[in-house]
Structure 1
Amino acid sequence: MSIVSSVSLRVMTLAAIALIVVSRGLAQSDNRSQPAQTKNVLIFYIDDLRPELGCYGVDSIRSPSIDTLAAQGLLFNRAYCQQALCAPSRISMMTGLYPDHTGICDLFTPLRKVNETAMTLPRYFKQHGYITASFGKVYHHRRDDATSWSEFADYPTDKYANPQALHAIAKRVEDAKQRNLSVDEVRNAAKGPATEIAEVDDEAYIEGKVAAQAIASLRKNRDNPFCMCIGFAKPHLPFAAPKRFWELYKREQFTVPKRELPDGTSSLAITSWGELRAYHGIPMEGPLSDEVTQELMHGYAAAVSFSDAQVGKVLAELDRLGLRENTIVVLWGDHGYKLGEYGLWCKHTNLELDTRVPLIISAPGYAHGQRTESLVEIVDVFPTVASLATGDVPDSIDGKSLEPLLQDSKLNFRPFAISQYQRGSNMGYSLRNDRYRYTEWIQAGSQRIVATELYDHQDTDTPSENLADKLEYADLASRLSEQLGSAQRIQTTNVKLKTTGK
């Protein structure tokens, strides 16, 4: 089964997965663990992770560690990020604020550059007496919010494990410098190939080293309440992983998706996926060949399994130390990802593939081995862990605690979820309800709606037509437009939006 095929999500066989939990050696706990009333917080941040995992009904993807975590908590089948871009998405999660409140919608602005006083998840827990620790890619700007961390590990710097690849990259960079190319062109030369297979141990790559850092911290801080944030960059480009993870998959199992864009879609809705084109061996324009597409899909899957294994190492240590029963564990992806669907790659849009993300919360005394179809947003994560750990939620937060869903997974939590993406001087606001996605692109200066999109997601994540201009959908589009405008007004209780919608 291809990881890009439309998949009817099946209910997990939780009893089978529960056997994995039992086999993890919980009986070997260290008796020096914290008192039962202490609620630690451990959050996994995984870059570019699609909600295509075993626990999400995609059996072709090997994700046993994340699947086991899902069997221990609540899986959110319809969670949406606030923006399909690393920096603003992570900042929204860490503040519980929408991008129009943080004032950050680009890749280049750290939170503390524009807001020195905003309450953040690590600052909140530090003020509540917790040790706050950051490992790997948590904020996009890794030293952002520096005073909020009690422990901040150096980020490993090596990107490729293969000596031949490192040599080739160094040669390209030197050649670019000698030809007096621009800074951006030199930087692109340093990126090297988009995939790598290396017969190395996990710790030859950044993710393996980050897992080791986190495990060392768990051992050191096991007698103190902690809020630990662990960021694994894979499956972000380059799709590099030890050979054994590539060998979990066969190249021929990956089916090249259709490349046609939805009929009637605005150019504002899509991207030229320059992030991938910057890598060596990827054409600067035009579609990718079927062969290259399958290689990238294979590499992405291998990178997912690689990060999954690192998640497993950390959770196994949490169990060994006897901390699992006192720890709230969250796993989320900062945004989705396109793997050739519509002939597009990477993120950077308001499309369903880019805004829908995996989210799992495992909290002592709450939902165990359940899933919910309720719509939720990533701004809801901060108030959730704050509520579960301390019973107190900062007033500044836009999101809502998901604790009611952890008690009753069938609740109707939100009528819709909101995402946004800026394209030049236009801001696209997107509403996802139970069936449809409706998007308005608004020009910042005139506040004029310059393009609209309406997609029916009843049966697919990749609809083939924009219905916004269809006469038979006019009433629906009008209702959704009104809801979107109301949602924007509700979201701006603290600051005025640059773009206000209708």
Structure 2
Amino acid sequence: MLRFYVRCKVILLRPNLLKECFDVKSLTTSFFLLLCLVPVFAAASESKNVLIIFMDDLRPELGCYGHPVISSPNIDALAADGVLFERAYCQQGICAPSRASMMAGQYPDTLGIYDLWSPLRRTVPDAMSMPRYFTQRGFETSSFGKVYHHHIDDKPYWSHLPAVPGEKYAAPQTLAKIARQKRLAQAKGLKGVDLFLSTQGPPIENADVPDDTYPDGAVANQAIETLRQKRDKPFFMCVGFAKPHLPFAAPKRYWDLYKREQFAVPRRKLPTDAPVIAFTNWGELRAYAGIPSEGPLSDDQTQQLMHGYAACVSYADAQVGKVIAELDRLGLRDNTIVVLWGDHGYKLGDYGLWCKHTNLELDTRVPLIVSAPGFAKGVRTKALVEIVDLFPTLAKLTGGEPPPQCDGNSFVRILEKPAATFREFAISQYPRGSVMGYSIRTERWRYTEWIDAKTRRVVDRELYDHQTTQRPSHNLADNAEHQELIADLSQYVDATNRIKNAQLK
């Protein structure tokens, strides 16, 4: 009987094997076959689909997170249908390592990925990523837009992996100028990062064009077209929207949602007594046309960029709405787990800084919303979670077991009881040459040690009190009154042993 049942499961995936496996000669045999297949069909029909929406550079500042200005009605509606995580943290404040970490459920230290030039599958050839895991479990797997930083990463494990459509600018004059710059740069032999830095256009654009003129609108269309296709197995779909990443280019109607004076220029002063190693020189923003190569931006430039960022958030929000509306229209929503997350935080002139690339709260805290059939809806949780926890959570929610190599832990119990606690602290890290900064975020404190990789010596420390603010103004690491706290937190900052299970409450 066991062998018969196994063959029945094979038939579900390859119906043409029916005649090879059985010689159905009588009504009795046929009836017996159908009875055996009933539980298999039932199990298949109960398998949950997974839709993960990736957002690039999205701060946890949306309507549903309490922001008074940002218009994000579609993400807000998703939050009303699921659990909003107020304290979710990525593992590194930069795109490629954060996404690889999320997809593999492992820390950057485990993967050895800390930069933009190390694809997951090339760096860790045998990695058990989510696309590989769900492929092996019989799911249809799809990737649209910016999912991995390297688009074709995990290519063998995607059922659908179309090219990312469109151009990041829409104005013809801008596209022509960039094309000329690229030809000149290539003639000089520039490649890679040097080519990228020499061919940047303006940091903002507000062309009066349809949504799908820019990539994110076209990506939404790709996802919708695939959702409409008939399938005989559950799907694991990743939809990656590039906005609000630079350039802040979005259709004019999203810019028109805001007025420039709504955006207050943030305080530019760095935290008192903070070490220089903790900060960066703005990352990619300096490469864009019209941005000074050094020194601060004017108030007008700051407000202009903040306006553009907000427009891009609303543009991306509209694309999220289109995909979820199609999920609803097709009757798939009640059987689909929907996750929306941001790959890392972002600075919009805060502390006088821009972009990400630090261990600060602004760069490591991310938006995370999970809407799962049968679980809590319209609630918020203050439980500390890490993005590496998402893989094991989705494995559990779809009836599977998390791979043993996952560093993360399933937070299904938080979806059941959002008031429950989960982790004692969340971990993030960021490298500065041969020094690695390891950051611990507890309910109140963020403690960071900068450790020399060769000597294992702590070269700098940071301690910030987040009880009342996301932007603390003082590094308290040298204060005598906090030394006992620092000693307690320091025991968890071990670059060679995460002791992940000890973190769970």
Q: Given the two structures, how large is their TM-score scaled by the length of structure 1?
A: 0.89
Match of 2:430 in 1: 421
The Cα of 1:489 is off from its aligned counterpart by 3.8
Contact 1:386-1:392 within 8 A present in 2 as well: yes
Is structure 2 residue 293 aligned with structure 1 residue 280? no
- More off after superposition, 157-166 vs 352-361: 157-166
1:395 counterpart = 2:421: no
Q: 1:208 to 1:97 in 2, by over 3 A?
A: same
1:483 alignment partner in structure 2: 492
Aligned position for 1:137: 146
Structure 1 residues 155-166: aligned runs within 5 Å: 155-166=164-175
Amino acid at match of 1:50: R
> What CA distance in whole angstroms lies between the structure 2 residues aligned with 1:486 and 1:163?
49
Q: Report the residue type matching 2:308 in the other structure.
A: G
| Corresponding residue number in structure 2 for 1:73 | 82
Secondary structure of the corresponding residue to residue 122 of structure 2: helix
Give 1:459's aligned residue.
Answer: 468
Are 1:250 and 2:263 an aligned pair? no
Residues in 2 aligned to 1:118 and 1:35: alpha-carbon distance in whole angstroms: 27
> Cα distance 1:177–1:436, how it changes in 2: closer, same or farther (>3 A)?
same
Q: How does 1:292-303 map to 2 (within 5 A)?
A: 292-303=301-312
Once the two structures are superposed, the pairs formed by residues 348-367 of structure 1 within 5 Å of their partners are: 348-367=357-376
The code of the aligned residue for 2:270 comes to L
Name the structure 1 match of 2:390.
381
Shift of 1:346: 0.2
* Residues 95 and 120 in structure 1, CA contact (< 8 A), matched pair in contact too: yes
Matched, 1:323 2:335: no
Compute the displacement of 1:38 (Å): 2.6
Give the structure 2 partner of residue 408 of structure 1. Answer: 417
Q: Does 1:187 align with 2:196?
A: yes
* More moved, 330-339 vs 466-475: 466-475
Counterpart Cα distance in 2 of 1:116 and 1:104: 13
Q: How does 1:136-215 map to 2 (within 5 A)?
A: 136-174=145-183, 176=185, 184-215=193-224
Secondary structure of the 1:152 match is: coil
Whether 1:371 aligns to 2:377 is no
Cα drift, residue 491 of structure 1: 4.9
| Displacement after TM superposition at 1:482 (Å) | 1.4
Equivalent in the alignment of 1:499: none
Letter in 2 for 1:101: T
Q: CA RMSD for the aligned pairs? A: 1.8
Q: Residue 115 of structure 1: CA displacement?
A: 1.3
Alignment match, 2:98: 89
**1:242-264: CA deviation from partner (whole Å, max 9, x where unpaired):** 00000000001000001100011
For residues 258-283 of structure 1, what are the alpha-carbon distances to aligned partners after superposition, in whole Å with 9 as ceiling and x for unaligned?
11000111111000013100011101
Which has more radius of gyration? 2
Residues 479 and 205 (structure 1), Cα distance of their counterparts in 2 relative to 1, 3 Å cut: same
Maintained 8 Å contact 1:50/1:336: yes
Runs of 4+ in 1 over 6 A off after TM superposition: 178-183
1:230 to 2:208 alignment: no
Using the TM superposition, give the Cα deviation of residue 43 of structure 1 relative to its aligned residue in structure 2, in angstroms. 0.2
Q: TM-score, normalised by structure 2?
A: 0.88
- Contact kept, 8 Å, 1:95 with 1:121, in 2: the verdict is yes
Structure 2: how far apart are the matches of 1:466 and 1:242? 41
Distance 1:492 1:76 in 2: 21
Stretches of structure 1 that go unaligned for 5 or more consecutive residues are 1-33, 494-502
Q: Give me the whole-angstrom Cα distance separating, in 1, the residues matched to 2:480 and 2:395.
A: 46
> Does the CA contact (< 8 Å) of 1:101 and 1:492 recur in 2?
no
Residues of 2 paired with 1:295 and 1:88: CA distance? 30
Structure 2: where are the runs of 5+ without partners? 1-42
How many residues end up aligned between the 2 structures?
460
2:492/2:498 contact within 8 Å kept:
no
Aligned match of 2:34:
none
Instruction: Give the deviation of 1:484 after TM superposition.
Output: 2.6
